[in-house]
Amino acid sequence: MSAPLSIAFIGTGVMGRSMAGHLQKAGHTLHVYNRTREKAQVLIDAGAQWHDSAGAASAAADVVITMLGFPIDVDATYLGAGGIVERAKPGALLIDMTTSSPVLARNIAAAAAKRGLASLDAPVSGGDLGAKEARLVIMVGGDAAAFARAKPLFEIMGKNIALLGAAGAGQYCKMANQIAVAVGMVAWVEALAYAKKAGLDPAAVHASISGGAAGSWALTNLAPRALSDNFAPGFYVKHIIKDMKIALDSAAELKLDLPGLANAKKLYEQVAAKGWEDNGTQALYKLYTSL
């Protein structure tokens, strides 16, 4: 392991808490902030220092890592008055692991560079299980020197780690991932809803098809949750909707039509309209079986 570092970890929700915990167990000193303190309590109990703002935590650290909810949160946390870019130590490394906008990632990188700070956009895939088991896919945008500094930390949290290009490249890669995820969710949900409507046992159909050409990570891991009425979030409905919006906006900028993704977004908006936005993404199955 590299020498212990002082790390500010901002955002200790479903995934961030596990990610921060791995860094803490590896011997790094944690400074934490989350809008809801109790979500950071397990880290505080293990020795992390609590701060009352993201800026305050950042001022105490060599490396700042964020795992937030929405681009608006990322913007305010990094670029707002008293935020990370303003208060981070000179030479600090800033790593945003939120799924956010490629344009915002480039804006943060530019603002950070003006203050002599290194920055990376490093969104992840793998959900709550990937975070807990330290096997996240980490997609990185930024310069090679910053990536080299961050890689030992990434290796504590994930397994498949790649630098994809300059600032914003990590977010573009994550959008490609989310396009495949969102459209793929529709595929397995429709397959199992069809099986149920045809009078078959969806669990038996799942066992038959999940290991063949129809197989996917979501079919293997999320379909069993849906079939057992477990809609607890590994990844929130409200967050997949956010990601689809970012991807569709980005595709529009690139002059690319994505009809499959547009349809998936409409379906998930119906899920949210039923009051299920804080469910896991597998709640899409409820939409079909409640029709």
Give the DSSP per-residue string, 83-148.
SHHHHSPTT-EEEE-S---HHHHHHHHHHHHHTT-EEEE--EESHHHHHHTT-EEEEEES-HHHHH
Tokens of 188: 């397995």
Q: Write down the catalytic residue from 89, 174, 242, 265.
A: 174
Clarify whether 114 is annotated catalytic.
no
Query: Does residue 31 contact residue 14 with C-beta atoms inside 8 Å?
Result: no
Q: What are phi and psi of 70, to 5 degrees?
A: -130, 155
Nearest to 54 by CA among 43, 39, 68, 71: 68
CA–CA distance, 127 with 212 (Å, rounded to integer): 23
Contact 94, 108 (CB under 8 A): yes
Nearest to 222 by CA among 240, 246, 199, 248: 240
Q: Report the alpha-carbon distance of residue 227 to residue 229 in Å, rounded.
A: 6
169-197 and 202-209 helices cross at what angle (nearest 10)? 130
Sign, Cα dihedral of 155, 157, 158, 162:
negative
Q: Which residues are catalytic?
A: 174
